[in-house]
Amino acid sequence: MEFFISLIAIALMLIGAFGIIFLKKPLDKIIMFSILDAGFVLVIVLFKYLDVALFAALSGPLSTLVFILAIVKIKEIRKNKVESGDLIA
């Protein structure tokens, strides 16, 4: 049983990593990061580091929120530069 769970965890991490690398849209990258994070937490639990897994489970959503805020800010900066004429769309 533990072998199948480890295969699922590895698959989640690989899907998330390749999704982050190959997808173009920033929100798709955030979704793939969440999938990668789920696999990572599962691997930590399989190695029985439950205190580290608790920290990773709590910090995962916070880092996702920071990524979303950064994407919103970058889009705002690009929009302002296009409107001012500093950057060609």
Q: Kindly list the domain boundaries of the chain, sorted by start residue.
A: 2-84
Output the pLDDT for position 89.
56
Q: Which of 13, 61, 52, 53 is nearest to 35 (CA)?
A: 13
Give the pLDDT confidence score for residue 4 in this predicted structure: 94
Query: What are the distances in angstroms from CA 45 to CA 34, 54, 71, 73, 77?
Result: 17, 9, 31, 35, 40
Percent of the chain with pLDDT over 90: 76
pLDDT digits (tens, 9 = 90+) for 16-51: 999 999 999 988 999 999 999 999 999 999 999 999
Answering whether pTM is above 0.85, one says no
pLDDT tens column, 1-25: 889 999 999 999 999 999 999 999 9
